[in-house]
Amino acid sequence: MDIQAAVHSVQGTAIPVPGNDIDTDQIIPARYMKVVTFDGLGEFAFRDVRWDGDGRALDHPFNEERFAGASVLIVNRNFGCGSSREHAPQALMRWGIRAIIGESFAEIFAGNCTAMGIPAITLDHETVKSIMESVAADPATAVSIDLRAKRLVVGSREFDFAMPDAYRSALIAGSWDSTSVLLAGVDDIHACAERLPYLTDFAAL
């Protein structure tokens, strides 16, 4: 397995997007899902809550220059609810998000994040609120997530976070990347194929 696929930690600055029950249609409106690849979806992240019908910018953190370059998203409760569209975390990743801190996530959304190498970690309401306030006051605040130690550092403060063991283990081991897992067993795949007559010897059938 390609050890480079392993995700042990994420460091960067953060962007808070407050609000409970932010669903996948808010994250990426359905009309932008008519694509062959996910390339370019980042520009449409939160499109309908960032811009009005006339294309004028609305008050939204993703429009604020002070959060430009942020790689850690901070959210509240039940983030990513609604449909199971993979396009939602894909759009966030292509905007620049590499990890998400929240109170809770829709289960399928969290699974989709993990399958893309994006840790989605949880903390209690008051802690998330405090972190949001700190980042809003100083967007340059450094944020570091250590998956092996299950520790989050925000500025000078440290917190323990929660995350399903299966997701955390997959990220640390690099097994979140299904392509890498498949390629790691390529010799076994070829060996198995050679034993299957319908793949190697049609005349024998």
CATH number for the domain harbouring residue 130: 3.20.19.10
- pLDDT, residue 85, reads 85
- pLDDT, residue 35, reads 75
Residue 11 forms beta bridges with which residues? 144
Decide if 40 is inside a domain. Answer: yes
Alpha helices in the chain (DSSP H): 24-27, 47-50, 87-95, 107-114, 125-137, 165-173, 178-184, 186-194, 197-200
Decide if 43 is inside a domain. Answer: yes
- pLDDT, residue 2, reads 44
Residue found by looking up tokens 């609810």 in the block: 81
Decide if 186 is inside a domain. Answer: no
Decide if 190 is inside a domain. Answer: no
Domains identified in the chain, total number: 1
Segments forming the whole domain that contains residue 132: 3-175
Decide if 200 is inside a domain. Answer: no
Decide if 110 is inside a domain. Answer: yes
Decide if 154 is inside a domain. Answer: yes
Model-level pTM? 0.86
Q: What is the DSSP letter of 56?
A: P
Decide if 89 is inside a domain. Answer: yes
> Would you give the distance in Å from CA 2 to the centre of its chain?
20
CA dihedral 104, 136, 30, 41 (to 10 degrees): -110
Residues in the chain predicted with pLDDT less than 50, given as ranges, are 1-3, 205
